[in-house]
């Protein structure tokens, strides 16, 4: 069994620093305290080659962290890299290959023209669909239209994801956006992919986050409040949108989530706090259904009742989510795990949920090309 015993952020946002400085800012507070004990570094990063003209990033980072002999690897799964990295780190510990793994999620995206970065990120779509003009924002728009046709949600409930998550982000000192937005402002903001507006999409962000994982047996020598990883599970969906069963459900999310609840002998009802992959507002709603928190076509109602707000029954994206915290690709999934760690260990500050015991995160690659679900629990 593996536990999380420490986490630290370099603030997400438009940062002047390079990828190495961001990595140091996130990792050094952890490695200064525990560095000599770390025996594996897992770097979660997707695009250092494309955005930063750097390859072998993980090995350069060990040098920057003065961890020269510590073995390292880069794990990539585009937007879902972080979940995969945590899954791999846990497997390294549970298999006995390593005892203390530092997981570092980092991406440096700004300083590169947004038009180019959108093109590069779209390179995860099948070449033939990319050639047809599909992009991730346009897929989110298709999903929104289909969802609206099939389930007749209020348009405001979908935009409400951005309102809720911007509120949460305003309580998170590491979030890209530090201000709330009103529903009016979201609904009247620039259209990016009709009907979705700019506030409903995650921004392009730089950022980094580090997390120390150890074997469960020694976790309490690091902290009085370790958080155990109860189960990890991953699944893919076809990357070809044309061949999907549905535009309003994501098979990879369903399968990976069913897997972790089965492994941990739990149900979605057991979860006290969750981080979902809200690259676009509609995704939080669709995923909240596919994870099993709500019935299909019912997820939007939670945005009207407030059920997923901090203080309510099932807070979702207390960190601000990708929508407000930002989405430095390789860092996002690690940041989700770090947020659950902070929540379950009672270190989430102004956005703290009251005494959560079970947490859940969903890290997704592409538009459901792959998903990693993780369940976490307070060590009794």
Which residues of this protein are in contact with a copy of itself, per CB under 8 A?
40, 46-47, 49-50, 53-56, 58-60, 62-63, 67-78, 84, 87-88, 90-97, 120-121, 123-124, 126-127, 232, 234-240, 251-252, 255-256, 365-366, 369-370, 372
Handedness of CA 253, 254, 257, 260 (dihedral sign): negative
CB of 28 or CB of 91, closer to a copy of itself: 91
In the complex, least distance from residue 1 CB atom to a copy of itself, rounded to whole angstroms: 10
Contact 105, 327 (CB under 8 A): no
In the complex, least distance from residue 138 CB atom to a copy of itself, rounded to whole angstroms: 17
DSSP assignment of 91-130 equals: HHHHTTS-SEEEEEEEE--TTS-HHHHHHHHGGGS-HHHH
Q: Which helix (H) or strand (E) holds 167?
A: helix 155-169
In the complex, least distance from residue 98 CB atom to a copy of itself, rounded to whole angstroms: 8
Q: What is the rounded (10 degree) CA torsion for 311, 313, 319, 324?
A: -90
CB of 41 or CB of 353, closer to a copy of itself: 41
CB of 255 or CB of 270, closer to a copy of itself: 255
In the complex, least distance from residue 116 CB atom to a copy of itself, rounded to whole angstroms: 12
d(CA 182, CA 166): 9
Q: Which two tokens stand for residue 47?
A: 């695009």
**Distances from the Cα of 16 to the Cα of 20, 152, 205, angstroms:** 12, 44, 11
Q: Classify strands 227-236 and 370-378 as parallel, antiparallel or unpaired.
A: antiparallel
Q: Which helix (H) or strand (E) holds 333?
A: helix 329-344
CB of 330 or CB of 356, closer to a copy of itself: 330
In the complex, least distance from residue 237 CB atom to a copy of itself, rounded to whole angstroms: 7
CB of 189 or CB of 239, closer to a copy of itself: 239
Q: Give the number of residues written for the chain.
A: 380
CB of 94 or CB of 298, closer to a copy of itself: 94
How much is the CA Rg of the chain, to the nearest whole Å?
19
Q: Classify strands 206-215 and 196-197 as parallel, antiparallel or unpaired.
A: unpaired
In the complex, least distance from residue 355 CB atom to a copy of itself, rounded to whole angstroms: 30
In the complex, least distance from residue 324 CB atom to a copy of itself, rounded to whole angstroms: 25
CB of 96 or CB of 295, closer to a copy of itself: 96
Give backbone dihedrals phi and psi of 78, rounded to 5 degrees, phi first: 45, -135
């Amino acid at each position: 069994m593996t536990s999380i015993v420490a986490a630290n952020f370099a603030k997400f946002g438009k940062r002047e620093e390079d990828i190495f400085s961001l990595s140091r800012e996130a990792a050094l507070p952890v490695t200064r305290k525990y560095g000599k004990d770390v025996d594996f570094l897992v770097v979660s990063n997707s695009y250092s080659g494309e955005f930063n003209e750097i390859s072998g990033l993980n090995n350069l980072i060990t040098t920057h962290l003065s961890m020269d002999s510590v073995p390292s690897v880069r794990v990539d799964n585009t937007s879902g890299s972080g979940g995969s990295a945590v899954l791999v780190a846990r497997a390294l510990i549970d298999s006995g290959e390593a005892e203390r793994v530092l997981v570092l999620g980092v991406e440096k995206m700004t300083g590169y023209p947004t038009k180019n970065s959108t093109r590069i990120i779209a390179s995860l779509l099948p070449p033939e669909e990319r050639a047809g003009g599909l992009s991730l924002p346009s897929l989110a728009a298709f999903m929104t239209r289909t969802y609206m046709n099939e389930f007749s949600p209020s348009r405001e409930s979908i935009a409400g994801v951005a309102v809720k998550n911007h509120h949460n982000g305003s309580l998170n000192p590491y979030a890209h956006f530090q201000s709330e937005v009103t529903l009016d402002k979201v609904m009247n903001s620039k259209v990016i992919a009709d009907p979705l507006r700019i506030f409903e999409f995650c921004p392009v962000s730089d950022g980094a986050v580090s997390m120390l994982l150890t074997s469960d047996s020694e976790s309490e020598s690091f902290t009085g409040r370790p958080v155990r990883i109860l189960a990890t599970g991953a699944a893919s969906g076809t990357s070809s949108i044309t061949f999907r069963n549905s535009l309003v459900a994501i098979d990879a999310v369903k399968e990976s989530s069913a897997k972790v609840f089965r492994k941990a002998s739990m149900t979605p009802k057991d979860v006290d706090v969750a981080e979902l992959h809200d690259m676009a507002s509609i995704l939080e709603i669709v995923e909240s259904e596919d994870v099993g928190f709500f019935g299909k076509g019912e997820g939007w109602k939670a945005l009207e009742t407030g059920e997923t707000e901090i203080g309510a029954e099932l807070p979702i994206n207390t960190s601000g989510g990708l929508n407000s915290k930002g989405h430095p690709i390789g860092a996002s999934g690690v940041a989700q795990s770090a947020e659950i760690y902070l929540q379950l260990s009672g270190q989430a500050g102004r956005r703290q949920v009251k005494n959560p015991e079970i947490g859940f995160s969903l890290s997704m690659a592409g538009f459901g090309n792959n998903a990693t679900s993780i369940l976490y629990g307070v060590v009794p």
